[in-house]
A and B are shown apart, each in its own frame.
Chain A
Amino acid sequence: MRRRGWFSDRPRVLPSPLIENFLTMPASPAKPGGPLLTADGMPLKTSLERSLKLSKIRALGLIFPPLLFLVILFVIPIGSLLTRSVDDGLSNKVLPKTLAAFERWDKTSEPDESMFEAVYLDMQAADTLDLSKLGTRMNYEKSGWRSLVKITMRGLNRIDGPPYKPAMLQLNKRWGDIEFWQSLGAMKDPVTLGYYLKAVDLKYDGNKNIMRVKKHNRIYQMLWWRTFLVSIIVTVGCLILAYPVAHLLANLPLRLSNLLMICVLMPFWTSLLVRIVSWMVMLQQNGVVNDSLVSLGMLHDENRLSMMYNFTGTVIVMTQILLPFMILPIYSVMKTIPPSYMKAAQNLGATPALAFIKVYMPQTIPGVGAGCILVFIVAIGYYITPELVGGKDGRLIGNLIAHHMQNSLNWGLASAMGAILLIAILTLYWVYDKLVGVDNMKMG
């Protein structure tokens, strides 16, 4: 502070010894070793904090609305998603006596009267809505529970007093099936990993041991692999297509590169649905591509390629849709690489190709990394394209999540799958950070 004061006073002529003193003096006249003080004796740190306080408050005021927005629309939903994916409190709330009786049971012998009594009392006391929700929940563990609960609910008032066992068996003989009773074991804890297990084709047995689900029920593992495969193919495809385009964009004369940029951005301005539908026109059995190939004689009329409602269609359309996400970060990095590097490399004796590989490409890594991460993350959770052009073997995990949210209403499972996606993406991000470094990433 004092030095600055001196500089601003500069036109005043100072005797030279004084100038020397100022130049050799520490920044403030504090005792050696003590805290630095300002001219009027206030500690420098306090003074600095005070002078920055107003700008800090102003900055906080500016970020407050987006922060609030973020908390309400992102942090809270994600939190509730994570909670929902492990929440299993309903069974404890509705069937406390039953689960207590289940604990006492040896899990193998035929259930005795006390267990039937517990079920009866619990269901008698339960709220009808809770009970039907629970029926749906129990059905995940063993199919048949939902109808069993419904039938029992309706017949409950026909049972008049103990013994309950024969009465309930009379209502529905499934109450005598020991497997139904055993399946209660997977529901006894208020917190469960059951949804996560289900999301990867595993489940709990009655003793909470993890086991694989029956072979013909396994669908999720295959879907996860397919989702990863599609994401990787789409990412690689985008990279291969985007790199030359980005290079052109960065190196063409301004007028042409602006035109090209409009072409790159045009898809962004077009509705996603319109783009997908136009791909359908292109790719279907009697679509433009097949017709052209047949009319050129490159394809026989009976052997028209099926590029729609399958894996191929999903990959082609997703690659086209996600291409700008790859082009833009790579372009923004390439734009900053001065042409003198390539010149220098050639001047030093490298052929143009070698100069490109050894000098140019390594410098585009931050853009390539950012583009790949961006495309992969969007691809892995993609939903609309596979839904429309995916058909049976082009469906991805996103479609299953949507299915469980909208149709089967198994929100716990949908949440668990969402959480797995989130974890996968965070892991990917962490690996990227370790390998390339996130500081290196340039999004645009």
Chain B
Amino acid sequence: MNGNDSLVRFVNIQKSYDGETLVIKNLNLNVETNEFLTILGPSGSGKTTCLLMLAGFEPATHGEIYLKNQPINRVPPHKRGIGMVFQNYALFPHMTVAENLAFPLDVRGMSKSEKTQRVKRALDMVQLGGYGNRQPAQLSGGQQQRVAVARSLIFDPDLVLMDEPLGALDKNLREQMQYEIKSIHQNLGITVVYVTHDQSIALTLSDRIAVFDDGIIQQCAAPDVLYEQPDNAFVANFIGENNQLFGTVVEDIGDTVKVDVNDGHIVEAKKVKVEGIGSRSTLSLRPERVIVDPEPHSLPNVFLAKTKQLIYLGDHIRTRFSICGTDDFIVKIPNSAVHAAISEGDEVNIGWKAEDCRALDVWPCPTSHL
């Protein structure tokens, strides 16, 4: 990945609002042409600040942002040529839909015939052909959303920024719209930087996801990599569901480590981010990677677990076990023809492979699962 070919480069960006705390600590991020990059993070993690700096509404305190290899720190927002979809859509309420779409063309002094043609094309693209003369308030949330997307694209920007544009929609509409955004991205070949706190949207839409927390990028990778191979405990915890066990490293065997989980159980896990023997570690294990009642001696990690709770969810049964000192160990048992039949209070053996269990750093807030 040659940095100079990237459409956008954040280089050593730092941002502070009050001069006392850094909202963005040290951001280095490249956005490639035609890429769909999502910045994912909890609220207050600084992800929207990144977007505002890129759009030009917030100055970077330190560092430089390059767009097509041009530094843009001193370029005012209206000269950056970056489209943006706002969280509340920001459709101008005193203009009709067509006037809203024509606004960026008006300010660029485009001829009337080309304007009409482009507005028509844009409306057709988002399947709102007959809606040009409506006021934005007369449209439903999803339609307004589409107009906002169309407006951000109508002047052919190099880059489109989206700031949680689906946040205000209900669940069904949100799913439908995310597929529409994805297909627009694929059809038009545009570059999108998308900001959200919703991991399912991020996983669905993105080519790459930058997981943001505490002012730094925790990991930036493709969705599958992020889910399967999290670099640290925060990412493991933030993306998808995750079982955590806490312990001390007792033995280092090349690729794997042995970790003494609090009550004396030794778990073998893949060495990802541990500091060495004697250090604390979080073991991260996806609920669907746990095998109930495994063949004896087939797995390095097999423990006797007590069934605490069973929740029937149709395609799988969510089971909560008490194991290795935690009461909150979740296993997803697929509802297939030959799944293990267990009931509450049963004691069963459960086990997992060493490579499915990742030994990570200690994350300061280890209790939350979601």
Which A residues contact B (CB, under 8 angstroms)?
338, 340-341, 343-352, 354-355, 358-359, 362-363, 365
Contacts and interface: CB of A to CB of B under 8 A. Distances in A.
Contacts of A352: 76, 78
B236 interface: no
B90 A349 contact: no
A363 B135 CA distance: 14
24 contacts: A340-B87, A340-B90, A343-B77, A343-B84, A344-B90, A344-B92, A345-B92, A346-B57, A346-B78, A347-B77, A347-B78, A347-B84, A347-B152, A348-B103, A348-B104, A349-B107, A351-B78, A352-B76, A354-B107, A355-B78, A358-B103, A359-B92, A363-B93, A363-B94
Contact of A338 (B78, B88, B94, B151): B88
Interface string B74-109: 001110011110111010111000000001100110
B155 interface: yes
B86 A348 contact: no
Which residue, B57, B77, B88, has most C-beta atoms of chain A within 10 A? B77
A344 B94 contact: no
A349 B152 CA distance: 11
B107 A347 contact: no
Interface string B150-174: 0110010000000000000000000
B55 interface: yes
Contacts of A338: 88, 90
Contacts of A355: 78
Contacts of A351: 76, 78, 107
A343 B104 contact: no
A347 B103 contact: no
A343 B77 CA distance: 8
A354 to B, nearest CB: 6
> Main SS of the interface on chain B?
loop
Contacts of A345: 92, 103
A341 B56 CA distance: 15
The 3 lowest CB-CB distance pairs between A and B, nearest first, are A344-B90, A348-B104, A340-B90
A436 to B, nearest CB: 12
A348 B79 CA distance: 9
A385 to B, nearest CB: 36
Contacts of B77: 343, 346-347
A348 B107 contact: yes
A347 to B, nearest CB: 5
Contact of A347 (B55, B92, B93, B94): B55
Contacts of B76: 346, 351-352
> Main SS of the interface on chain A?
helix
Contact of B83 (A341, A347, A350, A359): A347
Contacts of A362: 94
Interface in B36-82: 55-57, 76-78, 81-82
Which residue, B90, B93, B94, B152, has most C-beta atoms of chain A within 10 A? B90
A182 B135 CA distance: 66
A272 B90 CA distance: 43
Given A349-B81, A363-B92, 12 more contacts: A340-B90, A343-B90, A347-B77, A347-B83, A347-B152, A348-B104, A348-B107, A351-B78, A354-B107, A355-B78, A362-B94, A365-B94
Contact of A349 (B55, B92, B108): B108
Contacts, number: 63
B84 A349 contact: no
A95 B87 CA distance: 80
Contacts of B55: 343, 347
Nearest to B86: A340
A83 B81 CA distance: 68
A349 B57 contact: no
Nearest to A338: B88
Contact of B103 (A340, A350, A363, A365): A350
Contact of A343 (B81, B86, B151): B86
A95 to B, nearest CB: 64
Nearest to A348: B104
Nearest to B161: A347
Contacts of B56: 346
A350 B104 CA distance: 7
A243 to B, nearest CB: 17
Contacts of A350: 78, 103, 107
B248 to A, nearest CB: 48
A354 B79 CA distance: 13
A37 B177 CA distance: 41
Nearest to A344: B90
Contacts of B90: 338, 340-341, 343-344
B107 A344 contact: no
Which residue, A343, A345, A348, A352, has most C-beta atoms of chain B within 10 A? A348
B78 A344 contact: no
A363 B95 CA distance: 10
Contacts of B108: 349
A346 B75 CA distance: 12
A341 B93 CA distance: 9
A322 B84 CA distance: 42
A300 B285 CA distance: 90
A343 to B, nearest CB: 6
Interface string B285-296: 000000000000
A358 B77 CA distance: 17
Contacts of A347: 55, 77-78, 82-84, 152
B155 A349 contact: yes
Contacts of B92: 341, 344-345, 359, 363
A104 B83 CA distance: 88
Given A349-B155, A359-B92, A343 B57 contact: yes
A272 to B, nearest CB: 37
Nearest to A351: B78
A398 to B, nearest CB: 37
Nearest to B57: A343
A355 B166 CA distance: 25
Contacts of B151: 348
Contacts of B103: 345, 348, 350, 358
A338 B104 CA distance: 19
A363 B86 CA distance: 18
Contact of A348 (B87, B93, B155): B155
A420 B350 CA distance: 92
A349 B83 CA distance: 9
A338 B86 CA distance: 11
Contacts of A340: 86-88, 90
A341 B103 CA distance: 12
